[in-house]
Amino acid sequence: MKIEHDVGLGRFTTLGAGGAARAFARPSTVEEVAEALVWAREREIPVATIGLGSNLLVADEGVEALVLKLGGALAAAEVRGDLLVAGGGAPNAVCLHRARAAGLGGFEFACAIPGTTGGGVWMNAGAYGSDWSQVLERALVVDDSAARWLTPAELGLSYRRSALRHGQVVARTEFRLAPKPQDEIKAKVTELQALRKAAQPTNKRTFGSVFKNPEHELTAGRMLEACGLRGFMSGGAQISPKHANFIENADEARSADAVALIAEARRRAREQFGVVLEPEVQLLGAIEIPPVE
């Protein structure tokens, strides 16, 4: 497997920002993942895996790590009985397509989540009352010592988080689905996509929800809207005029521009509501959200 050097990661993120990975590889089998992990361990280089970069802010200065992007068989999906069997790099859209073609329902909620199954495990991705923990049967997690199948409980899945750490690669996933007529699946997806389009920016470069929803009567979006932040800009990044819990790449944004908006949003939410918002977006490289005073 080829190891490349200084590969720009911006094009692998939905925001379209961020610097280069010191080392980069695209393993397409579990053996290649293990090989890449050994390569990094021998050189004492940390490892991180990216999916479709749809919840990711990459440091503008780049990432001092071996970054893996799963490809080939690890980005494919198929149905076996009632199981959807997918590589950790398989896009959710491909999985949903396979499930629908086989007449299996339960994965429709993921139509609104533009990531991979592995990224979904890391995030316990979810929407419309469902999430990975409810449909995931098990995931094959590879680190530099072993490959283990883990259940949702062993993965520590809870609201938009798991217990996974960089260096642990979700190489394969299996989802338990249930028979459902194809036209019902299609109708559900159409309904959810229309809801999404009405509420959120769908034709802009964003990384999804910036903050997790706090334990408060207001969602993060409503709170930031009340702080007057809709449309607020820093450099080339803008808080979405449509939904204040999204940041858009308005004009060649840098990740630092997004971080500045995140810091300002947290400052105002703290000041106005006494709430410290917790970022949902994941950070890669030397990039930090300043603490709220």
Ligand X SMILES: Cc1cc2nc3c(=O)[nH]c(=O)nc-3n(C[C@H](O)[C@H](O)[C@H](O)COP(=O)(O)OP(=O)(O)OC[C@H]3O[C@@H](n4cnc5c(N)ncnc54)[C@H](O)[C@@H]3O)c2cc1C
Tokens of 292: 């709220």
Interacting span for ligand X (CB under 6 A) from 43-51, 98-106, 226-234, 266-274: 43-51
Alpha carbon 28 to its chain's center:
20
CA angle 266-192-105, nearest 5°?
120
Residue nearest to ligand X (CB): 51
Tokens of 273: 């509501």
Alpha carbon 252 to its chain's center:
21
Question: Measured from the CB of residue 229, what is the shortest distance to ligand X in angstroms?
Answer: 18
For ligand X, the binding residues in 53-82 under the rule CB under 6 A are 53-56, 70
Pick from 18, 19, 27, 51: which binds ligand X (CB under 6 A)? 51
Report the DSSP beta bridge partners of residue 208.
none
Element (H, E) at 188: helix 182-199
Amino acid at 11: R
Element (H, E) at 100: helix 92-101
Residue 17 binds ligand X (CB under 6 A): no
Pick from 206, 238, 240, 255: which binds ligand X (CB under 6 A)? 206
Choice between 54 and 255, CB closer to ligand X: 54
Residue 282 binds ligand X (CB under 6 A): yes
For ligand X, the binding residues in 92-111 under the rule CB under 6 A are none
Q: Which has the closest alpha carbon to 282: 265, 262, 253, 267?
A: 262
Interacting span for ligand X (CB under 6 A) from 57-65, 124-132, 231-239, 256-264: 124-132
What's the rounded Cα separation, in Å, for the pair 100 and 95? 9
Residue 14 binds ligand X (CB under 6 A): yes
Q: Is residue 236 within 8 Å of residue 15, measured between CB atoms?
A: no
Residue 169 binds ligand X (CB under 6 A): yes
CA angle 47-115-46, nearest 5°?
5
Interacting span for ligand X (CB under 6 A) from 3-11, 114-122, 224-232, 270-278: 114-122
Choice between 168 and 234, CB closer to ligand X: 168
Pick from 28, 116, 245, 249: which binds ligand X (CB under 6 A)? 116
Q: How many C-beta atoms surround the C-beta of residue 120 within 10 A?
A: 31
Which residues does the annotation mark as catalytic? 160, 209, 280
Residues 170-189, mask of contacts with ligand X (x by CB under 6 A): x-------------------
Residue 126 binds ligand X (CB under 6 A): yes
Choice between 79 and 89, CB closer to ligand X: 89
Q: How many CA atoms lie within 13 A of 116 on its CB side?
A: 30
Residue 237 binds ligand X (CB under 6 A): no
Place of tokens 């944004």: 253
Residue 115 binds ligand X (CB under 6 A): yes
Element (H, E) at 151: none
Positions touching ligand X (CB under 6 A) are: 14, 48-56, 70, 88, 112-116, 118-120, 122-123, 125-127, 164, 169-170, 206-208, 282
